Structure formats: C-alpha cells, structure tokens
A and B are shown apart, each in its own frame.
Chain A
C-alpha cells in the first residue's frame, strides 16, 4: 500500500485512532508521518547507519560541540563540505574529502573496519603503477619471512623477482 498523502512511497506508518468509538485508519510513509506530526508519533528512532556513524565520529569531530550543519572544522576545497557537515550527515562530499580530512578519517576507518589499508582490487587503468607497487610489497614481505626462516635459496629468488618488478616500475611499464 502506498502512502495516502504523497502516494509515492510505501506506507510504513499505520495509525489507528479511536475517537468516540469511531475507528479511523491512516497509512503514511515515514516522511509524511513526520510532516503531519501525529501526536505521539513525532519520534522515530534515528539509529540508521549514517547517524550511528556520526555518533562514532563524535569523539574525534564533535568534541568542540559544534553544530552538525555549521561550517565548522576543515572545509574540503573541492566540494565545500565541512568536517561538521560530515559529522552530521555521515556522508562525505567528494573523493577529495578523504585526503582533506585524513587525520580524522583514519581513526574513523580504523574504528569501522579495524584497518586503514586497502588490499583488494586495483583498477586496471588507474592502478597500473599501484598494481606493481602492491606486488613488490607482497614479495618484500615474503623475502623478509624467508630470511627469518633462513631459507636463503627462496630469498634469493624473491630478491631477483623484486629487482625485476622495480625495474618495470622505473620504466613505467605495465610489468
């Protein structure tokens, strides 16, 4: 059933009122229900993901107690979103917000994911270099482990492989 007021969104708030023994039912979506501010229904729990994250941010961002919509804190040069707006909405403005808010973003990402380092897919066109860098890193880690286990033969092979990859990287090739 669709909302009786806007007829756009599904009705999720169902209200049954009994006035002088007369039963009346109203079916509204959350947004329209808020608008008509039906008594006793003015409150909707706001524990959705974005709000929850703004809560997570509080420690870092909102310690100064700045209001969520004001242009407080650093402002992203690219899109004009401020740290305060981000804390309020839970959404960043553009990809440039990441480097711009980095010192606040990293602790936040660590809280959410327990990590701050991408180890997944690297796009082919944009990440040609990044792909090589990643492969070198992986090999260097393996080299270290091989040395600590005193497996020098494997270590020598890895060292050669790293040299080759680094040469490719210098030449700017795709490997």
Chain B
C-alpha cells in the first residue's frame, strides 16, 4: 500500500488549485458522521473493540459490490505512523487533530488521490470526508454520498427515522453533515471589513473558524466557513445555503481587492514584492511570518502582479513549512530556531526552482 506517499509528499488533490474560483475559495470540504448500530461510540470502546470496528469497516471497504462506489483506498492504522507522520496528515487536512488523541485505536482510509478520507474511531465510528479544490461543494457531496451508499451495503448504520443518523455528539445528529469552504480573505482583512462579513455569517447559522478547525487562529488569512445545523434541513438545503453565502463573500473579497489595487496600487505592489523578496532571500523565518508572507504573495498572484508562481506552490508550501514536514525531510527534531532556519532554506530552494517573477505592467 502506498502509505509512504501520503506522508512524504506535500501534495494532495485539493492543493492543485484547479477548481472553480480556487484563487480565493481555496478548497471545499464535505464531511459526514456515521456510526455502527449496536456498537458503543468510540470514546467508550476498549482497545480490542476499537480494532473490531476498524476490521469491520475494512471489510466493508474491500467488499467487491461496493468497489465502484468507493474506489482505491489504503487503510492506515494511526499506530503504524510516527508522531511526525501523523501530524503531516493533519497538516495536509486529510485527518483531524482529534484522530491523534488515543491514536492506538484509530485508523484512516485514504483514497489514492487524497481527495477522500474515511476516519475511523474519531468522535464517531466513521467520518467520511471529501476535499476538493475551489468551490466544489456539490461535487464533493456527490462523491461522499456515493461512498456512503457503498459502505451502507454491508454496514448497519445507527439511524432513526425521526432523528436521522445518530452521532456521538448531538451537534451532528440528523444529516451528520458538515460542509465547509476555506477562503483566502486577505483583501477584506486589509480594508478591515472582515468583522462585518463574519457578523452576517453567524446570523445565518454558519460559523467561521481558523485554518485548522475549532479554536485555531486564522493563519495566512485563511478562514473556514461551515454549517452548524444538521437536523431539520436536508443535505441539499445545507449545501446550497453555504454555496450562496460563499458566492456573496467571494464577490465581496474580489471587490475589496479591486478597490485596494485601484486606490492604493503602490502600497499593494510594495507589499506583494516585499513578501516575495523576503521569501526568496530570508535565512530565518518563523511559521507566522512565513504564512503571512505567503498570504501576501497569494494576493499578488490573484491580482496578477506576480506571474511565474502558482497557487499550487503556495498550498504545498503551507504544509511543507510546518514543523512536522520539516522534521520529516531533515530527519531530525529541531529547536525552534533550527526549524526557522530549515523553513527559510526550504522556501528559498522552492523559489530558486521556479522561474523569476515578472511584473504585469
């Protein structure tokens, strides 16, 4: 099984930046929660029972009848990975941070193109997710729905006619669906209009979070917007609601960028080129600084100030400059300063490989 590729390469399908509006809507994610009927939820399972659940799901994944629905998946026991490798999967958004707690009883099945992950024994027995580039929520739901149907051929789901899919936490009961988009909202941030947008979002039953989910900071001006309500609305309603709000935020962000570029051209260009210059030359870079500079560079790509650098590189770099990946490729744990030096080295080399940037004037 090509497990090693999942942790030694920084690329996943969502990073390719080939989806609709991928310059701003970096990725779309659909996640559904499912549980096995008659089996206690993961947090109550003993190690042995957890392994039984993993085996049961492994069988369902290998069921020939469901092969068309599911595709080529590799099952990875979290216990078989080093702490750094596990963290790399989190950094690539393939699994959640939650899967690292009590990792001995957890597993993940990852599709070859890394667009689909099934987390096993996270908060629920199954968390099926599909992650795609750009605004692709409908497509991601189609994929997830299909895999869900495939697994249901052999797995007995905990389902009630009245309450829908039964989940370990009542905040997921019903559809078990969490749909989200990751947005790069640097323009709105620069003109200090983010809070207004977020206020409106929260009034519409959606929630905004930082890059790595609950309680995390918005590193690199990336924000995740997702639905909160899972009961009393159909999957289609939840998704089209998020799509229409994403469309509005996208328009606002585009407008903000255009206004900025029109009214403050020199300042915007200076900011972008300054970021590019530091990224190409610096010898010590903290994660925060690097993420901020990459965000500025992404803005420059979006406004066509910079050519010769693609969003895809930025997406991959966001994973590569995290401690876990730096440690993995250098083969040793490092002090904070050591990491900052390794990070600057890696970024410099990546840009040396790319052709030089040209102004678009």
Contact = CB atoms under 8 A, between A and B. Distances in A.
Contacts of A119: 232-234
Contact of A113 (B43, B160, B174): B174
A112 B87 CA distance: 32
Contact of B163 (A25, A109, A123): A109
A91 B234 contact: no
Contact of A49 (B39, B44, B169): B169
Interface string B162-176: 111110111101110
B169 A127 contact: no
Interface stretch (B151-159, B250-258, B303-311): B151-159
Interface in B176-214: 177, 214
Interface in A78-95: 78-79, 81, 89-95
B142 to A, nearest CB: 12
Chain A binding surface, main DSSP class? loop
Nearest to A94: B40
A118 B44 contact: no
Nearest to B231: A113
A152 interface: no
Interface string A93-132: 1111011000001001100111111111111111100100
A126 B164 CA distance: 11
Given A1-B323, A49-B171, A125-B152, A7 B44 contact: no
Contacts of A41: none
Interface string A152-175: 000000000000000000000000
Given A7-B333, A48-B215, A120 B177 contact: yes
Contacts of A113: 173-174, 229-232
A86 B300 CA distance: 50
Contact of B123 (A9, A25, A91): A91
B170 A1 contact: no
A103 to B, nearest CB: 14
Chain B interface size band reads 35 or more
Contact of A118 (B41, B163, B327, B333): B163
A120 B175 contact: yes
Contacts, number: 146
Interface residues of A, number: 46
B272 to A, nearest CB: 29
A10 B334 CA distance: 13
B86 to A, nearest CB: 9
A49 B327 CA distance: 32
A22 interface: no
A165 B41 CA distance: 36
Contacts of B163: 98, 109, 116-118
Contacts of B162: 116-118
A127 B323 contact: no
A7 B39 contact: no
A118 B175 contact: yes
Given A105-B170, A109-B231, A125-B152, A8 B159 contact: no
A118 B336 contact: no
B159 A127 contact: yes
Nearest to A86: B170
B154 to A, nearest CB: 9
Contacts of B109: none
A115 B145 contact: no
A81 B336 contact: no
A68 interface: no
Interface string A46-79: 0011100100000000000000000000000011
Contacts of B346: none
Nearest to A118: B164
Interface of B: 35, 37-41, 43-44, 83-84, 87, 100, 123, 145, 148-149, 152-153, 156-166, 168-171, 173-175, 177, 214-215, 229-235, 323-324, 327, 333-334, 336, 339
When A and B form their complex, which 9 residue pairs have the shortest distance between CB atoms, in order from nearest? A115-B232, A118-B164, A95-B158, A113-B231, A120-B175, A95-B166, A130-B161, A120-B234, A94-B40
